Amino acid sequence: MTFQILSYPGRVETFRRIFGRDMPEVGFAGSVEEADPADVRYLMAWTFPDNLATRYPNLELIFSTGAGIDQITGVDIPPGAKLVRMIEEGVTTLVRDYVVMGVLGLHRDLPAFLAQQRQEVWKTRDFVWPDQRQVGILGLGELGMATVHALRPFGFNLAGWSRTQKTIEGVDCYHGADGLAAMLAKTDILVCLLPLTAETRHILNAELFAQLPKGAGLVHAGRGGHLDQDALLDSLDSGHLSGAFVDVTDPEPLPTGHRLWSHPHVVLTPHIAGHSRPESAAEATIANIRRHLAGELPKGVVDIRHGY
């Protein structure tokens, strides 16, 4: 019974150390050469071989090194194996902090002030108080809930949208197509933290942006496939949207010369909103293997039908 991780050397050695300390009864392999594939019961990676089911016939758990799993959905998963996305404190806190940064940046007109700075323009702008803004969050899972808790002290009106109905104290919760339209109509700063599925691909499109109030902003920390980049640029150019923080693009890296690089009302970051912390990720993975061995569902197990 072996756990195998395919990742960069620093992460592999951290996992090797913590598995040796906390779970020595399970074999450890940090490369494809270190273990017989037939012995591998637990496999962790970001990208997986196309022949996963035939190469690893006895897999029981397949772990993503990150919170996203859309890069795995096309892989031939062995029958009976469970797919598990990464849920651990490192990813959650980093994404939470990025979203708070983006929301506060848009709330205080940071993209506009950065554009003025480049033009050497000294000009104040009208103030809007937090209780005069609604922050709407697309996705109320682990990351969405951490964001809700972090934004509460600032005094924003909070709303959230999910596939199914949820009830969260202090948050106006919406679901379904009608609920999305209702939330968008009142949302001044929209945050995208959705998983990428067939239903959510290009959800951030011209039709959605048109439903937001004039002057709204976007914080996009989901996946590149959520965003119609041309629609965002058109909405910013027309003045309907006032600014955007964009952390993920399609493709990545963003090609040289793309307008997102230089748009005066876009703050662009290179997919850095979230990253799993090797130490806590290893501990979370061990805890999930123990749950599995005890006959329990791992934390973060994916419902393949829904894609998350």
pLDDT at 298 (0 to 100): 96
pLDDT at 49 (0 to 100): 80
pLDDT at 76 (0 to 100): 79
- Could you give the C-alpha distances from 238 to 67, 108, 206, 215, 219, in angstroms and in order? 34, 21, 12, 10, 18
Determine the average pLDDT of the residues in 193-219.
96
Determine the average pLDDT of the residues in 2-11.
96
> How confident is the model over 241-284, as pLDDT tens digits?
999 999 999 999 999 999 999 999 999 999 999 988 999 999 99
Q: Which domains, and CATH codes, for the chain?
A: 2-87+276-293 (3.40.50.720), 90-268 (3.40.50.720)
66 pLDDT band, cuts 50/70/90, is confident
Determine the average pLDDT of the residues in 176-205.
96
Alpha-carbon gap, residue 236 to 266, rounded angstroms: 9
pLDDT at 79 (0 to 100): 85
307 pLDDT band, cuts 50/70/90, is low
Percent of the chain predicted with pLDDT > 90: 86
For residue 20, pLDDT beyond 70: yes
Task: Please tell me the pTM assigned to this model.
Answer: 0.91
pLDDT at 265 (0 to 100): 97
Determine the average pLDDT of the residues in 63-82.
82
Q: Which residues are catalytic?
A: 223, 271
Determine the average pLDDT of the residues in 173-199.
96
pLDDT at 68 (0 to 100): 78
> How confident is the model over 23-59, as pLDDT tens digits?
999 999 999 999 999 999 999 999 888 788 899 999 9
> What integer best gives the mean pLDDT of the chain?
95
308 pLDDT band, cuts 50/70/90, is low
78 pLDDT band, cuts 50/70/90, is confident
Beginning with the edge strand found earlier in the chain, give each strand of the sheet holding 40-45 in spatial order.
Answer: 27-29, 2-5, 40-45, 61-64, 82-84
